[in-house]
Amino acid sequence: MKQFRYGWKYQFYGPDMPEVLFDLRKNPEETTNFIGEPEYGELVERFRLRAKELKFS
């Protein structure tokens, strides 16, 4: 399992809104969405699993 540092922000508000992933250390303005970047696929899956555990999705 790959280690990811802190400083990420993931948002999902349902199927009618875009899913987003921001790197707050590199881009605190939240203008670059990393959700589709293959290198962050494992991180996105972790966020998705956690959202399901919390019954957000």
Q: Structure pTM?
A: 0.81
Q: Read off the pLDDT of residues 3-21 as tens digits, 9 standing for 90 and up.
A: 667 799 999 888 898 999 9
Burial class (CB in 10 A: 0-12, 13-18, 19+), 47: buried
Handedness of CA 31, 16, 39, 22 (dihedral sign): positive
How many percent of the chain have pLDDT more than 90?
65
Task: Output Rg (C-alpha) for the chain, integer angstroms.
Answer: 11
Q: Read off the pLDDT of residues 11-49 as tens digits, 9 standing for 90 and up.
A: 988 889 899 999 999 999 999 999 999 999 999 999 999
